[in-house]
Chain A
Amino acid sequence: DTEVTQTPKHLVMGMTNKKSLKCEQHMGHRAMYWYKQKAKKPPELMFVYSYEKLSINESVPSRFSPECPNSSLLNLHLHALQPEDSALYLCASSQEGSKGGELFFGEGSRLTVL
């Protein structure tokens, strides 16, 4: 069983909606990540938080807004999305980001934008 919990598992939203994806881990990890994955493709890194601070933003459009309220929680706020943003959004965590530690992934939130 995964120790990274993502909610909701499925989300359908219109292009004018505002919604949020949530992620939680209780492994004491200090780095957390958002990835976007299209069908049959590898995950693409979106954001990295290290010690609750945004350390990497892979040129993600501003309609995606990450937030790290504390060391266990990571949110992704969604606003004015486009149909091409439909994908599986994966949260992950690791002990920290700069070494060769493995990532622990959540089950993902499958987003459909109408």
Chain B
Amino acid sequence: AQSVAQPEDQVNVAEGNPLTVKCTYSVSGNPYLFWYVQYPNRGLQFLLKYITGDNLVKGSYGFEAEFNKSQTSFHLKKPSALVSDSALYFCASGTASKLTFGTGTRLQVTL
């Protein structure tokens, strides 16, 4: 069974500051891990994924995530937040047809 947890309902950060959105996973075997972003009244957009290989994964819009096997984490990061990054972020695990989403974290970036 695969599951992911997003411990924070909301993350607030000032523009220009680094941001982190947390995700921990519980999977058997090798995990497939993803981050998706959803802007208001829109569908989800793929940001990045970890399948295998380098633990630091770079994705769209300057986001990156680090796969940490010992801490079973896959936190999403960005060195400098923008107001336009404000959105709902979902961590997910599994194959395409058996994808399990986390509960989502709302990121609010303010001036």
Closest to B102 in A: A42
Task: Check if B96 sits within 8 Å of A99, measured CB to CB.
Answer: yes
Given A42-B102, A42-B104, CB of A103 within 8 Å of CB of B88: no
Closest to B97 in A: A97
Size bracket, chain A contacts: 20 to 34
Q: How many residues of B contact A (CB 8 A)?
A: 22
Using Cβ atoms and an 8 Å threshold, which residues of chain A touch B43? Answer: 2, 4, 6, 90, 92, 105-108
Beyond known contacts A92-B44, A106-B43: 14 more, CB 8 A cutoff: A2-B43, A4-B43, A40-B106, A42-B101, A43-B44, A55-B97, A97-B97, A98-B95, A98-B96, A100-B32, A102-B34, A102-B96, A103-B46, A104-B46
Chain B interfacial positions (CB closer than 8 Å to A): 32, 34, 36, 41-46, 49, 51, 88, 90, 95-97, 99, 101-104, 106
